[in-house]
Amino acid sequence: MDHTELTKRFATLTTAHLADACLRARLTVRCAPAGTRGVIPGLKLGGRVRPARRSGSVDVFLEAITAARPGDVLVADNQGRQDESCVGDLITAEVASAGLSGIVIWGLHRDTAELREIGLPVYSLGSLPTGPLHLHDRAASALESATVGEWTVTTDDLVFGDDDGVLFVPAAQADDVFRLAESIRDTEHRQAAKIRDGVTLREQVRFSEFLSHRETDPSYTFRRHLRVKDSAIEE
Per the document, the length of the chain is 235
Q: Which residues are registered as beta bridge partners of 203?
A: none
Q: Which residues are registered as beta bridge partners of 157?
A: 170
Alpha helix segments (H runs only) across 119-173: none
Q: What residues does each domain of the chain span? A: 3-173, 177-228
| Predicted pLDDT at 117 | 98
114-131 pLDDT, tens digit each: 999 999 999 999 999 999
Average pLDDT by stretches of 10, the chain with 235 residues:
93 97 96 97 98 88 96 97 96 98 98 98 98 77 94 98 98 97 93 94 90 91 78 54
- Per DSSP, the three-state class of 90 is helix
Tell me how many helices (H) and strands (E) the chain has.
9, 12
| Predicted pLDDT at 58 | 86
| DSSP letter string, 30-65 | EEPPTT-EESSTT--EEEEEEEEE-SSSTHHHHHHH
User: CATH homologous superfamily of domain 3-173?
Assistant: Ribonuclease E inhibitor RraA/RraA-like (3.50.30.40)
| Predicted pLDDT at 223 | 83
pTM: 0.91
